[in-house]
Amino acid sequence: MKLMKFLLPAFCVAMLLVPALPVPEFWITQLNYIGLYATVSLGLVLLTGVAGLTSFGQAAFVGVGAYTSAYLTTAFALSPWLALFVGLGLAVVVALLLGALTLRMSGHYLPLATICWGLALNYTMANMEFLGKYDGLLGVPALSIGDISLASGRAMYVLIWIVALGAAIAVTNLLDSRTGRAIRSLKNGTTMAEAMGISTFQYKLLAFVLAAMLAAVSGWLFAHFQRTVNPSPFNLAKGIEFLFMAVLGGVGHVWGAFTGAAVVKLVEDQLQVLLPALIGTSGNFETIVFGLVLILVLKYAPDGLWTFVKGWVPAPQRVRDWADAAPLAARDHPPRGELLLDVKKVRKQFGGLVAVNDVSFTIHAGDIMGLLGPNGAGKSTTFNLVTGVLGLTSGEVVFRGHPVAGLPSRDIAKLGMSRTFQHVKMIPEMTVLENVALGGYLRTKSGPVQAMLKLDRDEERRLFAEAERQLARIGMVDKMHELAGNLALGPQRLMEIARALCTDPSLLLLDEPAAGLRLKEKQALADVLRQLKAEGLSILLVEHDMDFVMGLVDHITVMEFGTKLMSGTPAEVQASPEVRAAYLGTEH
Ligand code: ADP
Ligand code: MG
């Protein structure tokens, strides 16, 4: 972080000094294109690299920005600065519409959809009479700021690089924020993020809109730099090229966008001369080369060229600046003994399989309830019904007086239920502290604009103080700066508990927290749970290991084949011949 902190301003100053130096005009033009391309591929870093949404259609948004300004300034003599805002507004509207239609698609459908709308937007530009069809629009005016004209390449250089570097700083700030962590959580499936209260669709849409805005700004600069627009720079091949830049540079990294844009632009110029000479006819052969290299990069260096840089850039370590931060607001917790959770005849069928068969139980505040049963008994499914991860076939769940059956898990999380997962769900490339901070999502509120301008630092300090406090509660402070993906399973499970605690839950739900742990880790976990119980926390503990549960819980509900076998105190359950039979029957 320290090195990066120094590198970033140094790079910005160096880039902005270039036009004052005796750099030949040719290189100024090259750098202008690199700045323009980097701005677009920065959007793809956010969208594809960070959020995991692949778009081949980004060039179309560049076209929206370019054409809007070219048309409004030539046909209506509108000020280019006003036209910028119209273009941005249009890009946002188009992105919201396309995003609402396509971002719910999964797997390969989304990239295919981006190809479709990329083509559609490009054909629209190329076939509209008022946009000059394939000839485009000529005579786009130069930009000016007051009396200063930006007609020269050098003057445009300054504006292009202020925009590109400003965008890079804004995106860097964004990624290190509440909003950024929400966007970073999108790539690994949505279940965990939703359980932390994050509306994953909303953040996919946000990433999509921000990427479209970056493309549109670049298009606007492009139109007034070239002083003419036509459809070809905004076609699908260009869309693929932008993606190629982002992937080649390192699609998860802000500076990868710049590296990729520079390499692609410079190599492209060489190839455009070299390839037709080699092949003997003219054509855009460089696109084919890029396509092949893209496949190789994805296979051998999925982190792009950044893979080779990462080795000598130290892992980011957060400066611990939150020692005196005020605590986050806390929830009103129910008094001990109050009915907290009332599960009434919940049922879940998967086709013909009744995974959960009209199961009922209650939890009172301050209790630890164990949900026990052999593997496949329906414990996790019951758990998912209660927390809203799965929809119920029938039944009712009442939490603190609110009927919650059928609500999405993020709305149930708002009411004070928080959970861990049987198979740990985390963001491996985030630190332990950042993963835990995800749990504080609903207790904080700063948005993307505050994040980009770094106006969220006070709230961030309060959030990280809380995350550290929760890590201390489970005895893991010493690991807070480690990458979550580097931890062993035991600490990962504890980290999930800290993340759940960071939501300030009234009911903590743990799905087989001891599974896969070594004996020592199990003992450490049992100590943590005993301590949480002593602090008055209510817990629903799903477990198949009977011995682990016995010394911990107040009540036990036993399930077998989806049905509730019995419920009672640990002593009653232990004495029950049915329970013994169920366990012996499956374990031997
Ligand atoms: P437990 O957590 O007690 O081990 P689960 O709740 O995971 O059990 O599973 C209960 C039963 O439901 C199992 O037979 C399992 O195969 C089935 N099941 C769980 N999830 C699904 C699903 N998404 N689709 C179909 N069957 C499922
Ligand atoms: Mg399970």
Contacts of 519 (CB under 8 A, 6+ apart): none
Least confident of 300-304, 352-356, 387-391, 489-493: 300-304
Please say which residue of 483, 503, 523 terminates a domain: 503
587: confidence class by pLDDT, cuts 50, 70, 90:
very low
Q: How far is the CA of 239 from the centre of ligand 2 (A)?
A: 44
**Is 320 part of any domain?**
no
* Smallest-distance ligand from the CA of 375: 1
Query: pLDDT tens, 409-461?
Result: 999 999 999 999 999 999 998 999 999 999 999 999 999 999 999 999 999 99
Q: With pLDDT > 70 as the criterion, what percentage of the chain qualifies?
A: 97
Q: Are residues 220 and 351 in the same domain?
A: no
Q: How far is the CA of 559 from the centre of ligand 1 (A)?
A: 13
Q: Whose CA is nearest to atom 23 of ligand 1?
A: 350
Count how many Cα atoms sit within 13 Å of the Cα of residue 321 in the half-sphere of its side chain: 8
Question: Domain limits at 548?
Answer: 334-416+505-588
Q: How far is the CA of 301 from the centre of ligand 2 (A)?
A: 36
The CATH number covering residue 343 comes to 3.40.50.300
Q: Whose CA is nearest to atom 5 of ligand 1?
A: 378
Q: Are residues 290 and 343 in the same domain?
A: no
Q: How far apart are CA 551 and CA 173, in angstroms?
A: 47
Q: How far is the CA of 344 from the centre of ligand 1 (A)?
A: 20
The H or E element containing residue 361 is strand 353-364
Q: Is 380 in the pocket of ligand 1 (CB under 6 A)?
A: yes
Q: Are residues 283 and 407 in the same domain?
A: no
Q: Whose CA is nearest to atom 2 of ligand 1?
A: 380
Q: Is 353 in the pocket of ligand 1 (CB under 6 A)?
A: yes
Q: Are residues 303 and 245 in the same domain?
A: yes
SS percent in the chain: helix, strand, coil, step 5:
60, 10, 30
Contacts of 521 (CB under 8 A, 6+ apart): 489, 490
pLDDT at 576 over 90: no
Structure tokens at 213: 């805005």
Closest atom of ligand 1 to CA, residue 378:
6
**Is 421 part of any domain?**
no
148: confidence class by pLDDT, cuts 50, 70, 90:
very high
Query: pLDDT tens, 380-417?
Result: 999 999 999 999 999 999 999 999 998 999 999 999 99
**Is 82 part of any domain?**
yes
Query: pLDDT tens, 221-279?
Result: 999 999 999 999 999 989 989 998 998 888 778 888 999 999 999 998 888 888 888 88
Q: How far apart are CA 222 and CA 562, in angstroms?
A: 62
Q: Is 377 in the pocket of ligand 1 (CB under 6 A)?
A: yes
What is the arithmetic mean of pLDDT over 487-495? 93
- Considering the chain, what is the average pLDDT of its residues? 91
Pocket test for ligand 1, best of 346, 347, 348, 353 (most atoms within 8 A of CB): 353
Q: How far is the CA of 374 from the centre of ligand 2 (A)?
A: 9
Q: Are residues 299 and 351 in the same domain?
A: no
Q: How far apart are CA 470 and CA 464, in angstroms?
A: 10
**Is 233 part of any domain?**
yes
Task: Calculate the dihedral angle through the C-alpha atoms of 6, 9, 12, 18, rounding to the nearest 10 degrees.
Answer: -80
Q: How far apart are CA 269 and CA 284, in angstroms?
A: 11
538-543 and 507-511: which strand pairing? parallel
Q: Are residues 437 and 561 in the same domain?
A: no
Total domains in the fold of the chain: 3
Neighbours of 224 (CB within 10 A): 25
Q: How far is the CA of 361 from the centre of ligand 1 (A)?
A: 19
Q: Are residues 295 and 406 in the same domain?
A: no
Q: Whose CA is nearest to atom 13 of ligand 1?
A: 376
Helix/strand/coil for 565: strand
Query: pLDDT tens, 293-314?
Result: 878 887 787 778 877 776 666 6
Diameter over CA atoms, the chain? 92
**Is 186 part of any domain?**
yes
Q: Whose CA is nearest to atom 18 of ligand 1?
A: 355
**Is 13 part of any domain?**
yes
Query: pLDDT tens, 17-61?
Result: 999 999 999 999 999 999 999 999 999 999 988 998 989 999 999
Query: pLDDT tens, 464-479?
Result: 999 999 999 999 999 9
pTM for the model stands at: 0.92
Q: How far is the CA of 204 from the centre of ligand 1 (A)?
A: 29
* Smallest-distance ligand from the CA of 356: 1
Pocket test for ligand 1, best of 346, 381, 383, 510 (most atoms within 8 A of CB): 381
Q: Is 350 in the pocket of ligand 1 (CB under 6 A)?
A: yes
Q: How far apart are CA 384 and CA 489, in angstroms?
A: 22
**Is 329 part of any domain?**
no
Q: Are residues 156 and 244 in the same domain?
A: yes
Q: Is 379 in the pocket of ligand 1 (CB under 6 A)?
A: yes
The CA–CA distances, whole Å, from 147 to 16, 19, 84 equal 21, 19, 19
Place of tokens 């259609």: 57
What is the arithmetic mean of pLDDT over 556-566? 93
Q: Are residues 71 and 133 in the same domain?
A: yes
Q: Are residues 498 and 521 in the same domain?
A: no
By C-alpha distance, which of 532, 530, 580, 565 is closest to 551? 530
Please say which residue of 456, 485, 503 terminates a domain: 503
Q: Is 375 in the pocket of ligand 1 (CB under 6 A)?
A: yes
Q: How far is the CA of 576 from the centre of ligand 2 (A)?
A: 23
Q: How far apart are CA 346 and CA 343, in angstroms?
A: 7
The pLDDT of residue 311 is 66
Angle between helices 457-473 and 519-534 (to 10 degrees): 110
Q: Is 376 in the pocket of ligand 1 (CB under 6 A)?
A: yes
Closest atom of ligand 1 to CA, residue 351:
25
What is the arithmetic mean of pLDDT over 550-569? 92
Closest atom of ligand 1 to CA, residue 383:
6
Q: Whose CA is nearest to atom 17 of ligand 1?
A: 355
The CA–CA distances, whole Å, from 388 to 317, 330, 413 equal 35, 23, 9
Q: How far is the CA of 144 from the centre of ligand 2 (A)?
A: 64
**Is 434 part of any domain?**
yes
What is the arithmetic mean of pLDDT over 349-377? 94
* Smallest-distance ligand from the CA of 381: 1
Query: pLDDT tens, 88-129?
Result: 999 999 999 999 988 888 767 888 889 998 999 999 999 999
pLDDT at 10 over 80: yes
In sequence order, what DSSP letters do the residues of 434-486 get, joined into one string?
A: HHHHHTTGGG----HHHHHTTTTHHHHHHHHHHHHHHHHHTT-GGGTTSBGGG
As beta bridge partners, residue 556 has: 370, 568
* Smallest-distance ligand from the CA of 355: 1
Q: Are residues 246 and 286 in the same domain?
A: yes
What is the arithmetic mean of pLDDT over 185-191? 89
List phi, psi (to 5°) of 408: -65, 155
The pLDDT of residue 588 is 41
The CATH number covering residue 215 comes to 1.10.3470
Please say which residue of 450, 481, 503 terminates a domain: 503
Q: Are residues 484 and 579 in the same domain?
A: no
